[in-house]
Chain A
Amino acid sequence: ELQLVESGGGFVQPGRSLRLSCAASGFIFDDFAMHWVRQGPGKGPEWVSGIDWDSKNIGYADSVKGRFTIFRDNAKNSLHLQMNSLRTEDTAFYYCVKDISPEYSTSLGAFDIWGQGTMVTVSS
């Protein structure tokens, strides 16, 4: 069974850091680009970041550029998101997402497998 399981969410104060992780199983992890997508309470999804299968190309939404870092460990079938300088507007469910393409840079935006999400709450 294709599965993505996120971890690392929680409650954090503004300005602090948090690292999210995603464990992948049931497919050849290093054949596909991966992404993080978040969804605030009562809001639509927002793409956060994407990474090629080989980490060659990486992209970020303007709202997180310079604060968040995406990286992957293909040997451990894992994806990560290092989030620094967190803001209250970063509060959301964070989903680990698999692309049908191997490269984020040529992705059609077809995100076919989603994890169950991990909640990040940024508040003082």
Chain B
Amino acid sequence: EIVLTQSPATLSLSPGERATLSCRASQSVSTSVAWYQQKPGQAPRLLIFDASSRATGIPARFSGSGSGTDFTLTISTLEPEDFAVYYCQQRSNWPPLFTFGPGTKVDIK
């Protein structure tokens, strides 16, 4: 079973700052990693898939990188609406199983 670790658990930043979120897998998952944003009372929203591909309608300030076991979500310049919880998700090879990480909360400093 692949275990995902996200760090930090909480990231306190101000609007306009850069956010760097980390996701580490317990074993290599190639590039089958996605990132989701979730706000209170809402369903998760797909931001990034295949480690670095932006989903439809996602602003360019969101970018993803990484391969193997280490992945990063970067928000280049935080907007007020970006303060939320971010989850990484990976897919195992076979059988296909999908695991979400514990999340990183980005809150206002």
Question: Which chain A residues have a beta carbon within 8 Å of chain B's beta carbons?
Answer: 35, 37, 44-47, 50, 59, 61-62, 95, 100, 104-112, 114-117
CB neighbours of A111 from chain B (8 A): 34, 36, 44, 46
Q: Mark B23-38, 1 if CB is under 8 A from A, else 0.
A: 0000000001110101
| Cα–Cα distance between A17 and B2 once the two chains are bound (Å) | 30
Q: A100 touches which one: B38, B49, B89, B98 (CB < 8 A)?
A: B49
Taking a contact as CB atoms under 8 Å apart, the answer to whether A110 and B49 are in contact is yes
Knowing A45-B44, A112-B55, the reply to whether A50 touches B36 (Cβ < 8 A) is no
| Cα–Cα distance between A91 and B4 once the two chains are bound (Å) | 23
Q: Which of B33, B50, B89, B90 has the most CB of A within 10 A?
A: B89
| 16 pairs, A vs B, C-beta closer than 8 Å | A37-B44, A44-B100, A44-B102, A45-B44, A46-B100, A47-B99, A59-B97, A106-B96, A108-B32, A109-B33, A109-B90, A110-B46, A110-B49, A110-B55, A111-B44, A117-B43
Contact-residue size bin, chain B (C-beta under 8 Å from the other chain)? 20 to 34
Taking a contact as CB atoms under 8 Å apart, the answer to whether A95 and B43 are in contact is yes
| Cα–Cα distance between A110 and B36 once the two chains are bound (Å) | 9
Taking a contact as CB atoms under 8 Å apart, the answer to whether A107 and B96 are in contact is yes
Instruction: Give B101's nearest chain A residue, CB to CB.
Output: A44
Q: Mark B43-56, 1 if CB is under 8 A from A, else 0.
A: 11110011000011
Taking a contact as CB atoms under 8 Å apart, the answer to whether A109 and B34 are in contact is yes
CB neighbours of B33 from chain A (8 A): 109
Instruction: Give A101's nearest chain B residue, CB to CB.
Output: B49
CB neighbours of B91 from chain A (8 A): 107-109
Taking a contact as CB atoms under 8 Å apart, the answer to whether B95 and A45 are in contact is no
CB neighbours of A110 from chain B (8 A): 34, 46, 49-50, 55
Q: B43 touches which one: A50, A106, A116 (CB < 8 A)?
A: A116
Q: A47 touches which one: B55, B98, B101 (CB < 8 A)?
A: B98
